[in-house]
Amino acid sequence: MKPFLLFDFDGTIADSLQLGLKIANNLAPQFGYPPFTENDIQHFRSLTWHKIAREMQIPFYKIPKIVTIAFKEYKRLISELEPCAGIVEMINELALKEIPMALLSSNTVENVHLFLTNHKIDSFLWIEGTSGILNKAKDIKKRLKKHKISTNEVIYIGDEIRDIEAAHNCGLKVIAVTWGFHTAEFLASYKPDYLVNEPKEIVEIVNRLTVKSEK
């Protein structure tokens, strides 16, 4: 049995860290927080989103409005966004092996489609958005039920500790990738099933699991 790979988008497929920094600084005057530096971002990479919001002194009730405006700015700047290194090659190799793949993102579906079209990526069976940035487990369960996918088939792939928590809350195995937002050490502390440093390692995991299931 081939695994079903369910991917996160920002930081996992799209190399959006620098674009996110640019957008956050563009919005700083409007929402009254100081602009971020590269040192700030490195510091934030070992914190939860709740702790980041607390350090920024942003009331939590303002975050949905900030996210909505940020996604509009993201659309305006999306031509600047590139895939993470090695991701396109990984997707193409998995597609050749006929590994089923889908994408579930906290970003807007429109932004995700624009990015995938720009980079001629069309191997995902479906692409859907979540209902917010903090309810991934609920959204994963809803999508798996909608598409009639068993949890024991799925491996979730993401770059943040909330991805690990959501996947495990749904009874899924999870691959945490170290090229996105959270650091390798922070990800490891949440005990993902796999921790990978390069996209080609995902192909290796899939190959091992596929061979194992055929025995």
Q: What is the pLDDT along the chain (215 residues), one digit of tens a residue?
A: 799 999 999 999 999 999 999 999 999 999 888 888 989 999 999 999 889 888 888 777 888 888 899 999 999 999 999 999 999 999 999 999 999 999 999 999 999 999 999 999 999 999 999 876 667 899 999 999 999 999 999 999 999 999 999 999 999 999 999 999 999 999 999 999 999 999 999 999 999 998 766 65
User: So what's the pLDDT on residue 212?
Assistant: 67
Are 120 and 89 in contact by the 8 Å Cβ rule? The answer is no
User: 4-15+83-214: which CATH number, 3.40.50.1000, 3.40.50.300, 3.10.129.10, 3.90.1860.10?
Assistant: 3.40.50.1000
User: So what's the pLDDT on residue 49?
Assistant: 85
Locate the domains of the chain by residue range: 4-15+83-214, 17-80
**Residues whose CB is less than 8 angstroms from the CB of residue 51 and which lie 6 or more positions away in sequence, other chains included:** none
Alpha helix ranges (H) inside the chain = 17-31, 38-44, 49-56, 63-77, 87-96, 109-118, 136-146, 161-169, 184-188, 200-214
Q: Which residues make beta-bridge pairs with 104?
A: 128
Q: How far apart are CA 5 and CA 10, in angstroms?
A: 16
List phi, psi (to 5°) of 14: -100, 135
Are 122 and 152 in contact by the 8 Å Cβ rule? The answer is no
